[in-house]
Amino acid sequence: MPIVQKIDCAHCGAPIDFKPGEIVTTCRYCGFTQVIETGQPFTLAHSMFLNEYDDALVESRIREWMRSGFAKPGNLAKASKITERSLTYMPFWILGIEAFSSYKGVFERITPAVVKEGRIEKHYDWLVLARKATQFPTREYDVPLEGKVPYDFRKIEAFAKILNSEVERSEALEKAKQEIEAHHQFLAKQEVDKISEMQTKFELGDAVYLHAPIWFIVYEYKRETFQIILDGATGMVIKGDIPAAKFGLF
Ligand SMILES: [Zn+2]
């Protein structure tokens, strides 16, 4: 178990637990968000998505997911049992970034090979998980940005867990830039086979710190366990493990 440390909420005085590495914390009792090291208020916008799912809705949503799609065993919905479900408000940074790349490369799919140049210009609301060791399929999470509301601690269910941020804005931004650059390289590689030069410039827009309601579900099927990650705002399955279906004559 990691060591839990304590500070007092600078707004209401309630004790706040935090773990080493966490840098921004939100009070459970009054919603005040502060920087742990300084005790000063967090000055950037803090938003959230509202959770629209309860146990029963999660259950029916999961059954529906199990019944749909082709890659799943036919009896998945009937034969599996949900053994764990928990709601966690996960911290994210959403960074508005305009990215411009110009590249030069060699197109080798024709003979003789030719040198090609190109540009990629895109706007992103790039998502970065504000946790370090936590695994989360960030790229598969289609963030329901239109549902964003100011953070309101009264909207957080008593049974839910809230994770604090371990990543500062500047660090999130660096990560976003690297990921966007890699993404643009991937895009450029659709056009040329070898990239010889590539430059990317960024224009930074708004940064939003946000908590999103994420359900972590474990289900059992034929004595094996599988995980599903569900967006509590929209009911979308962000990622779901599927047992390998056995086809054949037996
Ligand atoms: Zn407080």
pLDDT tens-digit readout, 219-238? 999 999 999 999 999 999 99
- Report the DSSP pairing between strands 224-231 and 237-240: antiparallel
For residue 41, give the DSSP letter: B
Kindly state the tokens that stand for 120.
């990629």
This prediction has a pTM of 0.87
At 178, the amino acid letter reads Q
pLDDT of residue 145 exceeding 80, the answer is: yes
What is the rounded CA–CA span in Å between residue 219 and residue 135?
Answer: 19
Which of the residue ranges 20-24, 170-174, 182-186, 225-229 would you say has the lowest mean pLDDT? 20-24
Share of the chain above pLDDT 90, in %: 78
User: What is the CA(163)–ligand 1 centre distance, in A?
Assistant: 16
Output the CA 51–ligand 1 centroid distance in Å. Answer: 22
Q: Ligand 1 center to residue 86 CA distance, Å?
A: 24
Cα 11 to ligand 1 centre (Å): 5
The yes-or-no verdict on residue 250 having pLDDT over 50 is no
* Model confidence at 105: pLDDT above 90: yes
Angstrom distances, CA of residue 82 to CA of 61, 125, 219:
12, 34, 4
From ligand 1's centre to the CA of 13, what distance in Å?
6
Count, in order, helices (H) and strands (E) of the chain: 3, 12
Tell me which residue has tokens 């500062």: 168
- At residue 31's C-alpha, the angle toward residues 144 and 46, to 5°, is 40
